[in-house]
Structure formats: C-alpha cells, structure tokens
C-alpha cells in the first residue's frame, strides 16, 4: 500500500487535521482497519483519534481516494463526529474463517 497525500490542512475551529489521500494497492481492496493502521503509522498518531470518512474506488484501478480526519484527542472527536463514523472506524475486523469453522 502506497499513500499519496493530496491535501493536508489544519482546521483550527474544529481542532483537527483534514487529509485527502490516494492509496495505491495490489490485489484485493484493503479493509478499513488495514487502511487506518497504515495511515496512523505514517502520521504517527493513535488510532483512537482518527476517523476515516470516505473511501472511493474506481472500476478497473488498483487505487482509492479517501478522506480522513485526525483529532488531537478522543474527546474532541466524540463531540464533533457522528457516532456511526466513530464506530465504523474503530470496529474490529471480522474473521470470516472463524465463523465457518
């Protein structure tokens, strides 16, 4: 997975960084959990302070366009972001193989 950051701006009013990025990958589209882990590692921030908003793929391309927001702390994020986005970003990755066994 290779990230290319198209926009990285600080929003002082909402105390967050707003990122637009293009992610290039090989094979299957990575999960939200994998993208979040890699993004947090590159930006050196904890996963509890990051929300992935949109992830859009294009047919036939091995890349996706995404938006993420990085907050200073989890309390600020909870006051600003809708609860479904926080749950979606922090949801554990499901094991399909464990369900079948």
Give this prediction's pTM. Answer: 0.82
To the nearest 10°, the Cα dihedral for 35, 36, 37, 39? 80
Give the C-alpha separation, 70 to 48, whole Å: 9
State the pLDDT confidence band at 94, using cuts at 50, 70 and 90: low
d(CA 24, CA 64): 7
The full set of domains in the chain, from first to last, is: 2-91 (3.30.70.330)
pLDDT at 26: 93
Specify the pLDDT at position 4.
93
Mean pLDDT, range 17-35, rounded to an integer: 93
pLDDT at 24: 94
Is the confidence at residue 89, as pLDDT, over 50? yes
The DSSP element (H or E) to which 53 belongs, if any, is strand 50-57
């Amino acid at each position: 997975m290779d990230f290319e950051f198209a926009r990285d701006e600080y929003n002082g009013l909402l105390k967050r960084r707003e990122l637009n990025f293009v992610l290039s990958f090989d094979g299957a589209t990575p999960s939200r959990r994998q993208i979040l882990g890699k993004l947090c590692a590159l930006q050196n921030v904890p996963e509890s302070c990051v929300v992935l908003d949109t992830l859009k793929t294009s047919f036939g391309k091995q890349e996706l366009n995404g938006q993420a927001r990085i907050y200073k702390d989890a309390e600020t994020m909870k006051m600003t972001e809708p609860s479904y986005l926080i749950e979606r970003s922090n949801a554990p990755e499901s094991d399909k193989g464990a369900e079948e066994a």
